[in-house]
Structure formats: structure tokens, C-alpha cells
């Protein structure tokens, strides 16, 4: 079903890549659509700042691409989080053992070096191989991260990305943490995401009686509603009561 029109008593959580910004061959080549920053800032204000970006990227990258228009951000799937008041909230599970992190970094960097078109992203506590620019590299990337799965790291296989994240860290946990504090507490949680890496977020908001929205192509998902693409998500955000349309 198509996502319902936003309500003023919602708390909205948004994935980044593939949800409010179109994918690019490399994560450093994305280009937010004109008007996105204005729509996000306006929607956040209309919701009393109860709008957050929940992403696998670091918070600093979200600030860069969105011109710091959204204060509440969970980065690295929730390994780092900044509240709507601007306070950095550390996660006790965020830091994998230094030896395992070094091993993962070296192994995945080697895979990228051996496969032209594969991009290695070092997020400090999480690591990813992006193969959107080299689809033939999928097996090598997925094999490498599967080899590195451990008590410290778990594997995420997303849209043209194979990733390691700290075990026990996921977007659902970040959303639950936001919902326990103002201005999110007491509102209906809504999460919009596109990838299998967003399923933890869908599960969490469903359990809270909220609204889960899949952005993009149809696929098996826990999400109960859908928006067709990034443009549809941005347009939908512009319908938050009191927000400015794109």
C-alpha cells in the first residue's frame, strides 16, 4: 500500500542512500536533489524536531551532504548517535577489538585493490565494500566479509554493498533509543528505508505500532507501506503539515 500522508504527531526516521538521495557508483559521489535540504529542515521544524536520519554512513558525512539541516542523526547503523538536542550519545558496543578491526581493514582493502571498480569504505568501527561500479565483484566482496564474521562483527549484504558492522548494532536499536527521549517520545514512529539493511528498523517501528515504509522497488520486506523512489519520498516529506514542498 502507498504510504499514508504524514501526520503532525509522527516521529519520522529516514535512511539516506536510496531513500532520500539516489545511489551513485561510489558513496562519495552522491548528489542530493535541489530542494532536499530545505524540505528536511522544514519537515523537522514542523514535527518539533522529531525527524532523524538513521544511516550506515558516519554522522559527519550526513552533516556534509545535508548541510547540517537535520540535527538528530544515527550513524554507522547506530554505533554513533546525536540527539535532537545536539548531544553525542556513545554506544557501548560500537568499538570492535583493535586487532579484529585491523584484520578486517587490511583484508577488505586488499579486495578493493585487487578488483578495479570496488570501493573500500573505512568507517572506523564498520567497513564496507561497494561494488555498484563493478557488479562482477559481488562474489569477491561477499566472500571477504563472510570470512570476517565473528563475535565482534556481523555481515550485512545490501544493495551493491557488502558490509561488516559491530555485532548487536542496528538501525532498530537506534530508532528505539531516539523514541525514549524528547522530542520523539510519545509520538508514532515512522521509518522509511530502501534496503535489507533497513529491515531491523522496520521490525522495530512495527513492534511499536508505527509505520514502516519501503522506498523503491518491491521486494520481500517487513515494511507495510511503499513509496516508489527517492523523488516520491522527498515529495511525501513535503506533505508534512506545515512543511515546504520540494
List the catalytic residue out of 15, 194, 195, 200.
Answer: 15
Residue 37: name the closest of 242, 183, 244 by CA: 244
Residue 23: name the closest of 33, 37, 10, 8 by CA: 33
CA distances in angstroms from 242 to 20, 49, 59, 70, 91, listed in the order given: 19, 13, 27, 17, 34
Residue 56: name the closest of 196, 150, 230 by CA: 196
Q: Are 96 and 166 in contact (CB under 8 A)?
A: yes
What H or E segment, with its residue span, contains residue 53? strand 51-54
Residue 120: name the closest of 162, 88, 154, 92 by CA: 162
Residue holding cell 536510496? 18
Separate counts of helices (H) and strands (E) for the chain: 7, 12
Residue 15 bears catalytic tag: yes
Pairing of strands 10-14, 188-193: parallel
Catalytic positions, please? Answer: 15
Amino acid at each position: 500500500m502507498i504510504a499514508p500522508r504524514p501526520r503532525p504527531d509522527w516521529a519520522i526516521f529516514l535512511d539516506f542512500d536510496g531513500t532520500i538521495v539516489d545511489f551513485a557508483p561510489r558513496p562519495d559521489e552522491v548528489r542530493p536533489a535541489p530542494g532536499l535540504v530545505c524540505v528536511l529542515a522544514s519537515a523537522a521544524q514542523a514535527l518539533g524536531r522529531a525527524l532523524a536520519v538513521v544511516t550506515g554512513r558516519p554522522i559527519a558525512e550526513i552533516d556534509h551532504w545535508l548541510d547540517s539541516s537535520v540535527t538528530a542523526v544515527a550513524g554507522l547503523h547506530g554505533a554513533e548517535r546525536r540527539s535532537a538536542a545536539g548531544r553525542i550519545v556513545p554506544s557501548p558496543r560500537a568499538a570492535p577489538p583493535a586487532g579484529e578491526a585491523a584484520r578486517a581493514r587490511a583484508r577488505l582493502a586488499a579486495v578493493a585493490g585487487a578488483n578495479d571498480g570496488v570501493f573500500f569504505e573505512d568507517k572506523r568501527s564498520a567497513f564496507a565494500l561497494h561494488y555498484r561500479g563493478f557488479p562482477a565483484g559481488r562474489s569477491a566482496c561477499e566472500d571477504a566479509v563472510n570470512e570476517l564474521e565473528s563475535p565482534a562483527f556481523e555481515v550485512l549484504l545490501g544493495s551493491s554493498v557488502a558490509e561488516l558492522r559491530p555485532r548487536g548494532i542496528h538501525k532498530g536499536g537506534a530508532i528505539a533509543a531516539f523514541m525514549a527521549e524528547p522530542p520523539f517520545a510519545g509520538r508514532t514512529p515512522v521509518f522509511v528505508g530502501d534496503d535489507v539493511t533497513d529491515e531491523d528498523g522496520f521490525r522495530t517501528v512495527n513492534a511499536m505500532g508505527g509505520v514502516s515504509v519501503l522506498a523503491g522497488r518491491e521486494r520481500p520486506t517487513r515494511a507495510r507501506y511503499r513509496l516508489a523512489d527517492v523523488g516520491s519520498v522527498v515529495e511525501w516529506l513535503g506533505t508534512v503539515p506545515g512543511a515546504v514542498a520540494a
